[in-house]
A and B are shown apart, each in its own frame.
Chain A
Amino acid sequence: MTEYIIIGVFALVGILFAGAAMVFSRLAAPRFPDVGKKLNSYESGEDAIGSARIQFKIGYYLFALVFLVFDVEAVFLFPVLGVLRSAGSATASGSILSPLFVWCELLLFIAILAFALFYAWKKKVLEWE
């Protein structure tokens, strides 16, 4: 448990460290008044046209959706693989599952995912023009 507390404290110290540097810079650095266009967004020296809250390509959302599938897959695979070798190789240790059964289960799971990727691929979700 202490080991997890250390991570928490470490994160806190990191945030404070970064924050302190920014506060120090705020106090120490000189400040000059805004004359003209100092605070404008930098868009190659031209005046910015419109806001940056623009609509962007739908493709990014589709990528995010496919990503979600694979990320959840990884979450499922981690615990399965953690016990896979003991379940798959040691019938002597009292496992009721035969090794072949366990491996087929795993392959089936991955095959479904591979099919999902194949489907997205054929639907041209993964293509940029």
Chain B
Amino acid sequence: MGSLMTVLTNPWVIMAIKIGVGLGLVMGMVPMMVWMERKVSARFQLRRGPNRVGPFGLFQLIADSLKLLWKEDFLPRNTDRIIFLAAPIMAFLPGVLSFALIPIGVAGGNELLGPGGVMAVSYISMGLLVAMAVSSVAAYGIAFAGWASNNQYSLLGGIRSSAQLISYEIVMGMAVVSLLMMTGTLNLGEIVQQQQELLFGFIPSWNIIRQPLTFILFLVAAFAETNRAPFDLPEAEQELVGGYHTEYTGMRYAWFMNGEYAAMFTMCSILTTLFLGGWGFPGLGRLSGILHLVVLGQDIQWMLVGLITFGAFFTKVALLVFFFMWVRWTLPRFRWDQLMKLGWNVLIPLGLANIIGTALFLEYVASRFGFGG
């Protein structure tokens, strides 16, 4: 037992476990979300969805993955070979990588998993900035795919997508700027901690309540950044066939899809962390207090708190994912010029106004009434 603990507390072993859990969580969620999307869309259209293979059609995901693995893998003529092969990985990686920065729970005061017991694959003080930077790399994957395919549909899809991603990245950046003014920190763990107090004694002081306009701006930008409907123009079937992945088949195509769902999962996690109180919920402090009274080993207490906070985080993320699907199967797609107009002529001016408004609010209202963070 003693030797087991020395192995488990070795920093390299902890690192390996963290990476395994982080990657496993996202890669495990991707097929689940595909299954969920099919079920949700089916219910929205009064169908049943997959229900033949295994209970509730759950084994359908295994069947689909195996099918994709055993599809013939060939390069179309005149493609730019290296870029063509690198693009799926570049599109997939950012979604997974930015998930590594998100704190998914807190294990009491157990310093083993991270400073202050915050459970994140990588817990750094500039977390939010790094996450934003990493997730913006996804645009390159899509632009490269469009270029390397040597197909006019792919090219147009790729260019449209990069234009869309950079436009909405500005909106997202401005939303983060307003939020940053309120929080005063880029540390994702601290941002979650700040949201654990109660406003006026009964409202959870989540940033969605403290900064509703910022939340809306960020949410709209999140839809656009993950290429989800109503902003899924890069793959508008009616105009551009498959968009940037028209020429991709088999496993390479699968990485684009994995990337899309991984990005959606990560984006929902970021939204939860920034605006919905992350791992916390009202009453968490009291619950930990009760756990403290029940005589248990400290390790078991930490483990329980860790599991409960992770459960809270995961529930919020799952609800947001459902919301993303709900929107996809309810709203029609924007036309291209409408999309750009919404971004540049509505959301960016709103974002600028929001920054100024937040600055004035913090200076003249919040500091007087102790409302700020």
Contact = CB atoms under 8 A, between A and B. Distances in A.
B255 A18 contact: yes
Nearest to A32: B72
B363 interface: yes
A121 B180 CA distance: 28
A51 interface: yes
B336 A48 contact: no
Number of chain B interface residues as a range: 35 or more
Contacts of B356: 107, 110
B166 A22 contact: no
A82 B186 contact: yes
Nearest to B250: A25
Query: What is the interface of chain B mostly: helix, strand, loop, or mixed?
Result: helix
A53 B251 contact: no
Contact of B22 (A10, A25, A48, A106): A10
Contacts of B76: 39-42
B180 A126 contact: no
A35 interface: no
Given A25-B70, A71-B173, A84-B181, A4 B122 contact: yes
B251 A30 contact: no
How big is chain A's contact interface, by range? 35 or more
B23 A14 contact: yes
A9 B177 CA distance: 29
A51 B152 CA distance: 8
Nearest to B89: A18
B211 interface: no
Interface in A40-61: 40-44, 48, 51-54, 56, 60
Interface in A64-120: 64, 66-67, 70-71, 74, 77-78, 81-82, 84-86, 88-89, 99, 103, 106-107, 110, 113-114, 117
A67 B170 contact: yes
Contacts of B150: 41, 51-53
Interface string B152-163: 111110010011
Contact of B348 (A5, A81, A117, A127): A117
16 contacts: A2-B11, A7-B121, A7-B124, A18-B88, A28-B70, A39-B74, A43-B152, A52-B152, A54-B152, A63-B163, A63-B166, A67-B167, A67-B169, A78-B129, A82-B180, A117-B352
Interface of B: 11, 15, 18-19, 22-23, 27, 68-78, 85, 88-89, 92-93, 96-97, 100-101, 121-124, 129-130, 149-156, 159, 162-163, 166-167, 169-170, 173-174, 176-177, 180-181, 184-186, 241, 246-247, 250-252, 254-255, 336-337, 340-341, 344-345, 348-349, 352, 355-356, 359, 362-363, 367
